[in-house]
A and B are shown apart, each in its own frame.
Chain A
């Protein structure tokens, strides 16, 4: 059973702080990892993708991947109230000729002014 696990939260941080969101996955052969942001009542929005071990930075967002530990995280620096949303971790199973994503249930982030 391929699984992606996330703490459901809510994770509460004050404005300006660093928010750290974590995700573990069970399929060791997974190759591609994604973070989506979903506001209530809206569709998921892709914010980060990462494919190799290490860090990937994009503006205030940093994705971190550790394949040995089967762990991927998202750091949000200088958190803003507008970052309050549910963050979904998604994992692409091992290469098998097609591309489906398995999603975690998401972590709700609340950034207080």
Chain B
């Protein structure tokens, strides 16, 4: 049973470019969460999605960031016009609908030059 999958594992972008991060949840999991981890800081919740619905985006910056979890395909976290402060590790987690233990993917390390 494959775990949570994320790609790419490493992403380098120049300031002003767009970053797209993908997450495929574990089989049987319909809930997806995105977190950001800055160096020397803790994990910060960004957004919680179920299929075709954003349930809670209270942790996501209002500008430049968006997320989706379409009916088919992976969840996407999109960052437009990246700035150096967006450099971080972005983790996706998933959980099944019946309980809230979250399992993390390997993460995407975003570096903005």
Contact = CB atoms under 8 A, between A and B. Distances in A.
A102 B56 CA distance: 13
B41 A105 contact: yes
Interface stretch (A40-48, A58-66, A69-77): A40-48
Interface residues of B, number: 22
A103 to B, nearest CB: 4
Contacts, number: 51
A32 B100 contact: yes
Nearest to B101: A49
Interface residues of A, number: 21
Interface of B: 31, 33, 35, 41-45, 48, 55-56, 59, 91, 95, 100-107
Given A88-B42, A102-B45, 15 more contacts: A36-B104, A42-B106, A42-B107, A43-B105, A44-B43, A45-B104, A90-B43, A98-B56, A99-B48, A99-B95, A100-B48, A100-B56, A101-B102, A103-B44, A104-B42
